[in-house]
Chain A
């Protein structure tokens, strides 16, 4: 499993990549594998204000639907429009072209409580092993 070092990770399997106070959010490689083929996503509108832990939207795969949670607080400044036509980008490139939203963080310190790549890998191993 490839888990980019520069991201932070939530227990609900979203990642955030911080650049200044702008965070790019998507789901992890492990999450996309668990979900299987993604067929569409429901994402918030640009301008939406989200709090840490808010439902960010939902992701529908052939076999199941899952909720997405926002790992930080802030304002949505961009939504990945490409996913409307190509939801499969979430499967093929979750950390790259499969990103979901960009958010202007209210408080960048919030990411500190999220897991590092190493911690997330350990967490996933435990979850997968149950």
Chain B
């Protein structure tokens, strides 16, 4: 039972492990990290984030700093979005690409200054990314540091997030707009606070030193009590991000998929100058991609889950990369790579679910968008 793939070696723990266990977190192996998949129920935690607020531990995410006179040039070369468009105190979603235009990772870049960046990377990719950075840094005057161990990360997500977090900080949170960040004290602790997240809801991500994470986690929950905020696990994080159509590395994107195939054209800036994968992406843009990541909802009963084939007669024409029951829409949704002929909204897809062809339909995404 369960979709958790056990990994080799001892599991790593975040500084919040004890607090989470105490709060009743059901701990599972998540890419080598022992993290709570849920506390009470995925549906309940999902609903809390959509309607009130939920608090996640995302301390397993990696952090890398890139500094030096050529920091901007370096990042421009390694990524497909235009880092020069960033300003101090702003964040950017970006793709770290190989020369093949496949993803090394998808990342968030925080600009402290044009010569000083903090890169937030996926947990399972942190070491690989750092190695890639190091390899590429030989031709650049930059200084790289893997500072993953120096940060714990808490994500408070949901419409009540600002009101909750504001009780703990003198930073004016209303002034921190979407995808911006500030440094300041939260409950007396030095923190980076950004208005970002992975749920499709308003919310904040707070970075602090690991030794303070436990206290802060409890403090935020306490401050959230009047709003019925609850701790939330990775199960809800996955259903929330999928409803918002946010890609999950290892599922929806990886080294074999390009940003254009993943329908992430908005982070591909071909006019910004040369970067790894630019040639491939330029060609793809000209000729069109052969396959595309689309959103689907099930017509027949069933849930098309990660790895299930999409078929047309005896031919395999695609593969499901993510799939779940959407708690907000109360139907089965998912993402799949399919041949472009089948990628149009309204196209019917056949997904093989345990040996049975099961009907689904291509639908527009995101599946869920919050009211502003």
Taking a contact as CB atoms under 8 Å apart, the answer to whether B301 and A40 are in contact is yes
Number of A-B contacts (CB under 8 A): 46
Residue of B nearest to A33 (CB): B26
Which A residues between 5 and 25 are near B, CB-CB below 8 angstroms? 13
B235 at the interface (CB under 8 A from A): yes
Query: Do A65 and B305 have beta carbons less than 8 Å apart?
Result: yes
Contacts of B38 in A (CB 8 A): 36
B303 and A63 contact, CB distance less than 8 A: no
Tell me if A3 is interfacial: C-beta within 8 Å of chain B: no
Residue B313 lies at the interface, judged by CB distance under 8 Å to chain A? no
Roughly how many angstroms separate A65 CA and B332 CA in the complex, as a whole number? 13
Task: List CB contacts (< 8 Å) of B1-59 with chain A.
Answer: 1-3, 26, 37-38, 41-43
Chain A minimum-CB-distance residue to B325: A39
CB distance from A22 to the nearest CB of B (A): 27
Contacts of A34 in B (CB 8 A): 1-2
Is A1 among interface residues, defined by CB-CB distance under 8 A?
no
Using CB atoms, name the residue of chain A closest to B353: A65
Sorting the interface of chain B by its residue count into under 10, 10 to 19, 20 to 34 or 35 or more gives: 20 to 34
Contact A63 B301 (CB under 8 A): no
The yes or no answer to B354 lying at the interface (CB within 8 A) is yes
Contact A37 B37 (CB under 8 A): no
The answer, yes or no, to whether B321 is at the interface (CB within 8 Å) is no
Contacting pair B42 A42 (CB below 8 A): no
Complex-state Cα separation, A39 to B302, whole angstroms? 10
Q: In this assembly, does A64 line the interface, its C-beta being within 8 Å of a C-beta of chain B?
A: yes
Q: How far is the CA of A62 from the CA of B238 in the complex (A)?
A: 10
Q: Does A66 contact B (CB under 8 A)?
A: yes
Cβ of B354: which chain A residues have Cβ within 8 Å of it?
Answer: 58, 65
Task: Verify if A60 is at the interface (C-beta below 8 Å from B).
Answer: yes
- Contact between B301 and A42 (Cβ–Cβ < 8 Å)? yes
**What is the interface residue range for chain A against chain B?**
10 to 19
Asked if B325 and A36 sit within 8 Å, CB to CB, the answer is: no
CB–CB A63/B43 < 8 A:
no
A114 at the B interface (CB under 8 A): no
Cα separation A31 to B301 with both chains bound (whole Å): 22
Which of B1, B235, B239 counts the most A-chain CB atoms under 10 A from its CB?
B1
On whether A64 and B2 interact (CB within 8 A), knowing A36-B42, A37-B43, A40-B301, the answer reads: yes
A44 to chain B, nearest CB (A): 15
Q: Is A35 part of the contact surface with B, judged by Cβ < 8 Å?
A: yes
Which residues of A, 56-112, contact B by the 8 Å Cβ criterion?
58, 60, 62-66, 91
Q: Quick one: closest B residue to A62, CB to CB?
A: B42
**Known contacts A39-B303, A63-B37, then 14 further A-B pairs from the complex at CB < 8 Å, ordered by chain A residue:** A31-B1, A33-B26, A35-B1, A36-B38, A36-B42, A37-B41, A37-B43, A58-B354, A60-B303, A60-B325, A62-B324, A63-B324, A64-B1, A64-B3
18 A-B pairs whose Cβ atoms sit less than 8 Å apart in the complex: A34-B1, A35-B2, A36-B38, A36-B41, A36-B235, A37-B41, A39-B325, A42-B301, A58-B354, A60-B303, A62-B325, A63-B2, A63-B42, A63-B324, A64-B2, A64-B305, A65-B303, A91-B41
Partner-B contacts on A (CB < 8 A) = 13, 31, 33-37, 39-40, 42, 58, 60, 62-66, 91
